[in-house]
C-alpha cells in the first residue's frame, strides 16, 4: 500500500515506522508527512506526541479524532520548506492537505507549519492557516 503522504513510497517504508515509534523523522518535512498519515489513519496519540509540549495543551484529542475520522484524506502536497533539515533546529513547511469533509465536499487545508527540533526530535509547534478564496 502506498503511503498516505503521497511520497510514492510504501506506507511500511515511509511514515509507518515513525507513527509506530520505530524511527524518528529526520526532517521537519518528514514529520509533516507522518503527521498527515497519522490523520489519515486516525492515530491521535502520534499527532499529540509530535506536537511540542508548549503548545500541546491547545489541541483537544477528541476534536482531532473527530476531524480525522469524519474526513476522507485524499492527498498531501508540500509547497515549500524553509530550513527544517537534518542539521537544523527550526523549520517551516507550507502544505496543502486535500480531503473530503463529512458531507463528502472537497476541502483544502493550506497551512504554514512551524517546527522545532529538541534533543534530536522534531516537533510541530503551530501553524498559520491560509484562507482559500
pLDDT tens-digit map of 6-15? 999 999 999 9
Strands 72-83 and 121-129: unpaired
Residue 96 has pLDDT above 80, yes or no: yes
- State residue 132's pLDDT score: 65
Class of the CATH domain delimited by 11-129: alpha beta
Q: How many angstroms separate the CA atoms of 104 and 114, rounded?
A: 29
For the chain, the structural domain boundaries read 11-129
DSSP-derived 3-state class of residue 52: coil
Residue 103 has pLDDT above 90, yes or no: yes
pLDDT tens-digit map of 21-58? 999 999 999 999 999 999 999 999 999 999 999 999 99
**How confident is residue 131, by pLDDT bands cut at 50, 70 and 90?**
confident
Amino acid at each position: 500500500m502506498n503511503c498516505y503522504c503521497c511520497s510514492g513510497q510504501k506506507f511500511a517504508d515511509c511514515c509507518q515506522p515513525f507513527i509506530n515509534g520505530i524511527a524518528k523523522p529526520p526532517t521537519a518535512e518528514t514529520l509533516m508527512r507522518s503527521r498527515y498519515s497519522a490523520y489519515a489513519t486516525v492515530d491521535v496519540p502520534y499527532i499529540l506526541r509530535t506536537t511540542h509540549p508548549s503548545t500541546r495543551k491547545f489541541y483537544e484529542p477528541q476534536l482531532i479524532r473527530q476531524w480525522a475520522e469524519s474526513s476522507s484524506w485524499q492527498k498531501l502536497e508540500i509547497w515549500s520548506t524553509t530550513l527544517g533539515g537534518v542539521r537544523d533546529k527550526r523549520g517551516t513547511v507550507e502544505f496543502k492537505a486535500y480531503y473530503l469533509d463529512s458531507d463528502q465536499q472537497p476541502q483544502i487545508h493550506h497551512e504554514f507549519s512551524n517546527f522545532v527540533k529538541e534533543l534530536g526530535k522534531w516537533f510541530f509547534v503551530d501553524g498559520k492557516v491560509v484562507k482559500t478564496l
